[in-house]
């Protein structure tokens, strides 16, 4: 519908340019908006206002000339010029009635489009370190990333969902050491757990698994592990030096194979847990990309070599630095430490180079907002490598603060006391969690009200929308009890009889769905869909309250059933894109 009107305006402008009324050298972008007020018609364009300046004419004069050149269109019953020069289009009811048929014919495909024309786009999200279970902060990234990916897919992009597994690096070594020390404890050794180790109970569990599978085969006396290692912080030393010393010692004592056992025990257990968690949350991936594979394939070396050749690398204090300040970063960054180890950043350069090499038209990273300072250096690296940094979009997701009983839920990663995603899902359910997480713009700080998410009341937007869906199902169940049946073809033929305000309002909103999907996807704003679904549910509940659907007049009854079934379809489609179920009963 929007496209039709855009075409009408485009043709009118072209005609005015052809006869010299408008300058030929301007190519205005035709914008058609839904009106906020029905007194302004159904659609409006600010075209004349936009043209006023380049054409050096009064907006209303231009509007009149455009309207005079508009071709006739069956759907448009009236065109008005209003306000400072808006062109308002009034559509006939038939245009809205047609939407109901469109929806019933398209079914679960209604709203999908080919806007993306099959362009390939990669969305990387969550990518939490496999050093512990996912917590509620990751949950927002998961729900948001999945929704953005699904929306892009819905409008015709070829979407690749990816999780970057940080299965290499110092944090993983710290995990391996933590697991091993818990293992030693279970072997009967007396160990003092390092301040910087991973404290969570799950580390005990992994240590126990290691012990169960290997018995005492990996055991070394605690004294051999701790002797001459730099003192830990509580003992007046440095916790970083202490843990690094421990890692080095443990590696030496265990040898490569046994160290790998401890390391992989931690990695596999935690990654398995994360995968399970996300799967239960309805979040699916096409690929789990291993950081370790980058160094195994020498991709990190290759990336560093490319940076060297581009002349943006130098040595200082025994380390190798990338001169990211050449491309707007605040300071230069180390890519190879003085101990010869490459940094996480070096892997990330290789990873992003790899993404672009894979030929995606666009690459999206969904990151926690605390990583925002990281964006300039990654873009700088891509620029230095000769890639176009504009192909990378980094979407920063702010933290969610949980509230329970009106009180902020305190969280601390330090002691391992954080609320896990799993706990949240069990408390409020997957549907509420998925929906609440995407109700807000990603850059908006979010207050997550656990009581509201859990409540089965009209205050809870998830239930409100799901209830609308269940109500339609319920009406259809009533059909049989009232010994009626639904004749869809008759309903379609009788749609012109649906002229009540409530019916038109509902149909108009149904017709907006494809537009909502498009803007929500392009702007990476799933919250637009949540707001839309709430409005649609409201329209339905209002209609339900004002009119009885199962009336005696079969023509009216069938037409109304077509309308509410179309409504149900759109709600189901929309909730589906957000990973929320559409229940038949509540």
CB atoms within 10 A of CB 38: 12
- Among 108, 296, 390, 459, indicate the residue that binds RNA (CB under 7 A): 459
Q: By CB under 7 A, what part of segment 117-136 binds RNA? A: 129
Q: Nearer Cβ to RNA, position 56 or 227?
A: 56
Of 99-107, 132-140, 350-358, 436-444, which part binds RNA (CB under 7 A)? Answer: 436-444
Binding of residue 414 to RNA (CB under 7 A): no
Q: Nearer Cβ to RNA, position 73 or 240?
A: 240
**Residue 66: its H or E element:** helix 59-69
- Among 300, 384, 446, 453, indicate the residue that binds RNA (CB under 7 A): 446
Q: Provide the token pair at 210.
A: 């290691």
Pattern of binders to RNA over 280-299, x per CB under 7 A? -----------x--------
* Whole-angstrom distance, CA of residue 34 vs CA of residue 43: 5
* Whole-angstrom distance, CA of residue 141 vs CA of residue 123: 11
- Among 90, 204, 288, 345, indicate the residue that binds RNA (CB under 7 A): 345
CB atoms within 10 A of CB 119: 14
Binding of residue 457 to RNA (CB under 7 A): yes
Binding of residue 37 to RNA (CB under 7 A): yes
- Among 21, 35, 325, 354, indicate the residue that binds RNA (CB under 7 A): 35
Which of 132, 442, 146 is closest to 281 using CA atoms? Answer: 146
Rounded to the nearest whole angstrom, what is the least distance from the CB of residue 189 to RNA in the complex? 27
- Among 108, 417, 447, 501, indicate the residue that binds RNA (CB under 7 A): 447
Q: Nearer Cβ to RNA, position 240 or 326?
A: 240
- Among 40, 355, 434, 568, indicate the residue that binds RNA (CB under 7 A): 40
Binding of residue 19 to RNA (CB under 7 A): no
Binding of residue 199 to RNA (CB under 7 A): no
Of 229-237, 256-264, 302-310, 329-337, which part binds RNA (CB under 7 A)? Answer: 329-337
CB atoms within 10 A of CB 41: 21
Q: How many residues bind RNA (CB under 7 A)?
A: 96
Q: Provide the token pair at 578.
A: 């957000």
Handedness of CA 334, 338, 344, 349 (dihedral sign): positive
- Write down the H helix ranges in 482-526: 488-493, 501-522
- Among 3, 19, 25, 29, indicate the residue that binds RNA (CB under 7 A): 29
496, 93 contact by CB (below 8 A): yes
Binding of residue 439 to RNA (CB under 7 A): yes
- Among 137, 169, 200, 207, indicate the residue that binds RNA (CB under 7 A): 169
Please give the order of strands across the beta sheet that includes 76-82.
Answer: 32-34, 43-45, 86-91, 76-82
Q: Provide the token pair at 281.
A: 């949350």
Binding of residue 142 to RNA (CB under 7 A): no
CB atoms within 10 A of CB 199: 18
- Three-class DSSP category at 289: strand
Q: By CB under 7 A, what part of segment 207-226 binds RNA? A: none
- Among 186, 319, 493, 556, indicate the residue that binds RNA (CB under 7 A): 319
- Among 157, 198, 259, 463, indicate the residue that binds RNA (CB under 7 A): 463
Contacts (Cβ under 8 Å, ≥6 apart) of 87: 9, 44, 45, 47, 48, 63, 66, 67, 79, 80, 81
Q: By CB under 7 A, what part of segment 538-557 binds RNA? A: 538, 541-542, 544-550
- Three-class DSSP category at 472: helix
Of 9-17, 303-311, 412-420, 518-526, which part binds RNA (CB under 7 A)? Answer: 518-526
Rounded to the nearest whole angstrom, what is the least distance from the CB of residue 224 to RNA in the complex? 26
Q: Nearer Cβ to RNA, position 52 or 218?
A: 52
- Three-class DSSP category at 16: helix
- Among 161, 220, 524, 527, indicate the residue that binds RNA (CB under 7 A): 527
- Among 23, 54, 84, 255, indicate the residue that binds RNA (CB under 7 A): 84
Residue by residue, DSSP assigns 224-278 as HHHTTPPPPGGGTS-HHHHHHHHHHHHHHHHHHHHHHHHHHHHHHHHHHHHHHHH
Rounded to the nearest whole angstrom, what is the least distance from the CB of residue 219 to RNA in the complex? 28
Of 66-74, 265-273, 354-362, 454-462, which part binds RNA (CB under 7 A)? Answer: 454-462
* Whole-angstrom distance, CA of residue 65 vs CA of residue 68: 5
* Whole-angstrom distance, CA of residue 402 vs CA of residue 408: 6
């Amino acid at each position: 519908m929007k496209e039709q009107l855009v075409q009408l305006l485009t043709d009118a402008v072209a005609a005015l340019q052809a006869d010299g009324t408008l300058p030929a050298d301007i190519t205005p972008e035709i914008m058609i908006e839904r009106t906020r007020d029905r007194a302004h018609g159904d659609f409006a364009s600010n075209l004349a206002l936009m043209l006023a300046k380049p054409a050096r004419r009064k907006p209303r004069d231009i509007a009149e000339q455009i309207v005079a050149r508009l071709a006739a269109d069956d759907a448009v019953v009236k065109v008005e010029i209003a306000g400072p020069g808006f062109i308002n289009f009034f559509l006939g009811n038939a245009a809205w009635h047609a939407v109901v048929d469109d929806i019933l014919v398209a079914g679960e495909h209604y709203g999908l489009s080919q806007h993306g024309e099959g362009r390939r786009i990669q969305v990387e999200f969550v990518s939490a370190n496999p050093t512990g279970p996912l917590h509620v902060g990751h949950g927002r990234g998961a729900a948001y990333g999945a929704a953005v990916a699904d929306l892009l897919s819905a409008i015709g992009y070829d979407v690749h969902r990816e999780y970057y597994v940080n299965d290499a690096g110092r944090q993983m070594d710290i995990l391996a050491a933590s697991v091993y020390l818990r293992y030693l404890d279970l072997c009967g050794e007396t160990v003092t757990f390092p301040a910087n180790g991973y404290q969570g109970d799950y580390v005990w569990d992994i240590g126990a698994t290691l012990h169960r599978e290997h018995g005492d085969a990996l055991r070394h006396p605690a004294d051999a592990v701790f002797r001459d290692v730099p003192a830990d912080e509580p003992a007046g030393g440095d916790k970083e030096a202490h843990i690094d010393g421990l890692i080095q010692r443990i590696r030496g004592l265990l040898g490569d194979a046994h160290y790998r056992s401890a390391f992989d025990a931690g990695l596999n257990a935690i990654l398995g847990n994360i995968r399970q968690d996300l799967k239960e949350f309805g979040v699916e991936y096409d690929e789990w990309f291993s950081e370790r594979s980058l160094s195994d394939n020498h991709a990190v070396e290759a990336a560093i070599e490319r940076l060297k050749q581009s002349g943006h690398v130098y040595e200082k204090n025994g380390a190798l630095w990338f001169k990211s300040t050449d491309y707007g970063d605040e300071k230069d960054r180390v890519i190879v430490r003085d101990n010869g180890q490459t940094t996480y950043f070096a892997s990330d350069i290789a990873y992003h180079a790899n993404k672009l090499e894979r030929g995606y038209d666009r690459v999206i990273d969904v990151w926690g907002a605390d990583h925002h300072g990281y964006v300039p250096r990654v873009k700088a690296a891509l620029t230095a490598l000769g890639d176009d940094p504009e192909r990378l979009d980094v979407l920063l997701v702010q933290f969610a603060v949980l509230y329970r009983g009106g009180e902020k839920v305190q969280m601390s990663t330090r002691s391992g006391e954080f609320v896990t995603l799993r706990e949240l899902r069990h408390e409020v359910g997957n549907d509420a969690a998925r929906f609440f997480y995407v109700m807000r713009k990603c850059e908006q700080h979010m207050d997550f009200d656990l009581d509201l998410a859990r409540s089965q009341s009209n205050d809870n937007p998830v239930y409100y929308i799901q209830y609308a869906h269940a109500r339609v199902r319920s009406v259809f169940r009533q059909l049989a009890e009232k010994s009626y049946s639904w004749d869809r073809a008759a309903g379609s033929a009788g749609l012109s009889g649906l002229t009540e305000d409530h019916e038109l309002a509902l149909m108009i909103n149904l017709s907006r769905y494809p537009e909502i999907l498009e803007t929500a996807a392009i702007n990476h704003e799933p919250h637009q869909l949540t707001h839309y679904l709430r409005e649609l549910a409201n329209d339905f509940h209002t209609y339900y309250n004002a009119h009885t659907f199962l009336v005696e007049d079969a023509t009216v009854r069938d037409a109304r059933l077509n309308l509410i079934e179309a409504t149900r379809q759109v709600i189901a489609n929309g909730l589906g894109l957000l990973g929320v179920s559409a229940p038949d009963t509540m």
